[in-house]
Amino acid sequence: MNKYHLSMILSGSNLFKLIPMYVSLENYCSDFKLFILCMDDSVYNILNKIAFKNIILVQLKDIEENNHDLEIAKSNRIFHEYCWTLKPIFLYYIVNKYDNAEYYAHVDADLFFFSDLDHIFNENPEASIFLIDHRNSEEFRHYYELSGLYNTGFVGFKNNNEAKAAVKLWEDRCLKKCTIEYDVVNKTFGDQRYVEDWPNIFKNVHIVKSIGANAALWNIKNYKVSKKNNVVYLDDSPLLFYHFSGVTLLGAREFDLCPYYRIEDENLINYIYDPYVRWLSKSIENVNKEFPWFNAGFADKANIVNLHNYKI
């Protein structure tokens, strides 16, 4: 029995980001399996050849087969929306097919771990569901009305019936509607706002307290970043994992770190972003060495309006 079964939806555009995420997870978590739904054959073929020991690959056809509701959903939404739709569907598939874990979680490919997953789940061992508030800083406060209270780049669950009911509800809602547009009237945005009413529906929902969980561009300005004894801190809390949403690949050694603003905090650069993009650069170089034909996930600098490039 594993302690953690993690699920991820992975397209070619995020393949390079998966590798730093996986390496960081292996560094801090000794008992997990990461299940990846491969959105195209190139992702499956590359990862199948690399054969990471704690990754289990699932092909899209295995999820789509004989699923009429999913077929309808796929026909009426764009690729990005379809990936979001699949988050709870794939997680529900993993929870039921690989039911020998203590905890489950959906994880995005652009996360990077600085500590053990135990810190999150140990906050409340009795909880069935673990949600993380965006904790938006002042300039992102208005996004609560757009993208919602909680971020679904990481959503955790205990292996019990209440958690399974929540994932199934999430799945049903995403199948009906999962749009990239903000709908402030119906309070929907992709898969994300469907978890917002869970504290009112389910009894054992825990809102993660640690500010070190899911730190990101939308909340990092709330905190002072420091490093002591090789541990990165946000104020007085150890950084658990950072969500590198918005990091754009411009080349093997060039990146746009944040699409919204230029990062001026030297500690944030030196202790968090720079180590990540160096892992990302190593990922790109290693994959390109073995699979020179693969070049998905890069952006053209000419198409970026507010470029904040960073070279290593």
Mean pLDDT for the chain? 97
In-domain check, residue 61: yes
Question: pLDDT category, 305, cuts 50, 70, 90?
Answer: confident
Give pLDDT tens digits for 204-259. 999 999 999 999 999 999 999 999 999 999 999 999 999 999 999 999 999 999 99
In-domain check, residue 256: no
Number of domains comprising the chain: 1
Query: Beta partners for 155?
Result: 106
In the chain, what percentage of residues exceed pLDDT 70? 100
Spatial distance between the Cα atoms of 272 and 234, rounded to a whole number of angstroms: 11
Range of the domain at 173: 2-220
DSSP 8-state class, residue 246: T
Spatial distance between the Cα atoms of 43 and 36, rounded to a whole number of angstroms: 10
In-domain check, residue 302: no
Q: What is the CATH number of the domain that holds 132?
A: 3.90.550.10
Residue written as token pair 């299940």: 35
In-domain check, residue 148: yes
Res 1 pLDDT > 90:
no
Q: Which residues contact 69 (CB under 8 A, 6 or more apart)?
A: 175
In-domain check, residue 54: yes
Spatial distance between the Cα atoms of 248 and 259, rounded to a whole number of angstroms: 8
Give pLDDT tens digits for 155-197. 999 999 999 999 999 999 999 999 999 999 999 999 999 999 9
In-domain check, residue 267: no
Q: Which among 263, 272, 267 is positioned nearest to 243, based on CA atoms?
A: 272
In-domain check, residue 303: no
In-domain check, residue 63: yes
